[in-house]
Amino acid sequence: MGNILETLKTEHDRLRELFAQIGRTADTEADARHDLLKQIETLLIPHAKWEETVFYPAFERRANHEQKLIYAEAITEHRAVELAVLPDIHAADVDSRQFAGSVQVCGEMIKHHAHEEETKMFDAVRQLFSAEELAELDDKYARWKDSSGADAITSYAKVKTAAMAFMRNPDSPA
């Protein structure tokens, strides 16, 4: 029987690893940076969208006043990455210091966010949900990731990021 908290933590660990790898690339390694960014977004976007649409609302419905602050912080951090940092990454040339700096900021934000989730939110979730409910959420997430709905939401998020990147730098390859 799976557990959604373990699944999300495994994905956080993979994201931390990918950000460490991309952070070690040189400006001349454009192909490696492009590939790593694609891997990051392939994992990050569905993960974030499912949390926003299913996991966080389920948490918020059961949360007490203090726990609702954890929810609000998590949503705000997601929006900061989606609306500011990812478009900045895509607006920069992959072989530039601007790209490297934007990726560094994104990685730091993701690491901070994951740590907050894994400590504050996950601890609260363990108190609010039974093992069976956590397993059910894990199954729901696995099914969702393979759905056309997940594909549509992920595609929409990527198009929105590309549009915002273009608005910031019409000459960008985004």
- 82-110, pLDDT tens digit by residue? 999 999 999 999 999 999 999 999 999 99
What pLDDT does residue 174 have?
57
On the question of pLDDT at 30 being above 90, the answer is yes
Largest distance between two CA atoms of the chain: 51
On the question of pLDDT at 68 being above 80, the answer is yes
Interval 140-169: pLDDT, tens: 999 999 999 889 999 998 899 889 889 988
On the question of pLDDT at 116 being above 90, the answer is yes
On the question of pLDDT at 172 being above 70, the answer is no
Average pLDDT, the chain: 94
- Rounded average pLDDT over 3-28: 97
Residue 173: pLDDT band with limits 50, 70, 90: low
Residue 170: pLDDT band with limits 50, 70, 90: confident
On the question of pLDDT at 32 being above 60, the answer is yes
What pLDDT does residue 162 have?
87
Structure pTM?
0.92
Note the residue count of the chain. Answer: 174
What pLDDT does residue 76 have?
96
